[in-house]
Amino acid sequence: MQRNKIIVILGPTASGKSEVAIRLAKKFNGEIISADSRQIYCDMNVGTGKINGQWSKVKGQRLFISEGIPHYMIDTVNPKTDYNVSKFKKEADKIIADIFRRGKLPIICGGTGFWIKAIVDNISFPEVRPDKELRKALEALGADKLFKILQKLDPERAKTIDKNNKVRLIRAIEIVKTLGKVPELNNELGIKNYEFLQIGIKIPKEKLHNNIKRRLKKRFRQGMIQEVENLRKKYKLGWEKIQSFGLGYFWIPLYLQNKIHLVKFRKAGSRQGGTFNRAGKKELFEKIYSAEKDYAKRQITWFRKNRRIIWLKNHKEINKKAFIFLQSN
């Protein structure tokens, strides 16, 4: 029996995944499922590099549309909500089944490696409820200490986690202490039902870093700092919650609180605060730029362990590989 086919477009941040996925969706009658642990949240647009799009009603269903292509698992979750890979997997499974039911091609696009792995390898996730006593004890520790604890408990998870993100570090320790190990894989369903083509975007390191820098400059112009202030006001989020999203969302709250040696001042005669000096913004830029580069390195480390990924460098190669995959029995 021929299995249903799914294309996965993955790679590090700023490698051009979204553009590739949209091109393939247009060419092969596809719809896109985002596998990005930040872009799934509402009102986190600039800092996550969310694609331009709008919500529209299509045959009675409310969909996020970009360049005429429906996108799922993007701009859907309240930032107050604790969202995780288990919830993503359940929702994505339903969406994939619906896309196949309508005779279209599911294209998974993103850089959150574990979320992609959850779909491709059909990982089964035992429920791990929050342990209040453990959390209270861990919250008293600094990020450095938490990272060292995780390294001892689960060295593999430590290689890919943001070591400055206390919320994620605490959750990772909580899971490992509860389960004693990472979740077991249950491959039977995935092997039976779906066949995957995993394409990684191959990009030279220097070009990737240039892309990250250019994109970050654009985000600053688009109001990345103001977006964080708006998140705090609209959703009544604490600074630590915003920082749990990582990268720019980690550093900007520190900047706004003058905690990374940056100066916030009010213009003379102005009733509006929140004007920042150029030296402060420059330092903030460098902090986020460094964090983005480190994140890209962790993503590449994660993906390189997967021998099933085919790394390609341009649209022509990708289109050819996708065509052959979809035509094969």
Q: Mind listing the pLDDT tens digit for each residue in 306-325?
A: 999 999 999 999 999 999 99
Residue 178 pLDDT > 50: yes
How many helices and strands (H and E) does the chain possess? 14, 10
pLDDT per position as a tens digit, 220-260: 999 999 999 999 999 999 999 999 999 999 999 999 998 87
Q: Which of 56-70, 101-115, 164-178, 286-300 has the lowest mean pLDDT?
A: 164-178
**Residue 193 has what pLDDT?**
76
Helix (H) or strand (E) holding 8: strand 4-10
Q: Do domains 4-205+308-327 and 209-293 have the same CATH topology?
A: no
**CATH no., domain 4-205+308-327:** 3.40.50.300
Confidence (pTM): 0.85
**Is the CATH number of domain 209-293 1.10.3470?**
no
pLDDT category of residue 124 using cuts at 50, 70 and 90: confident
User: CA 221, 225, 227: angle at the middle one, nearest 5?
Assistant: 100
CA distances from 143 to 4, 131, 173, 186, 286 (A): 43, 19, 12, 33, 21
Burial 203-235 (b: 16+ CB within 10 A, else e): beeeebbebbeeebeebeeeebbebbeebbeeb
**Residue 117 has what pLDDT?**
95
User: Which pair of tokens denotes residue 1?
Assistant: 């029996």
**Residue 131 has what pLDDT?**
86
| Domain boundaries along the sequence of the chain | 4-205+308-327, 209-293
CA distances from 63 to 56, 60, 76, 273 (A): 5, 9, 10, 38
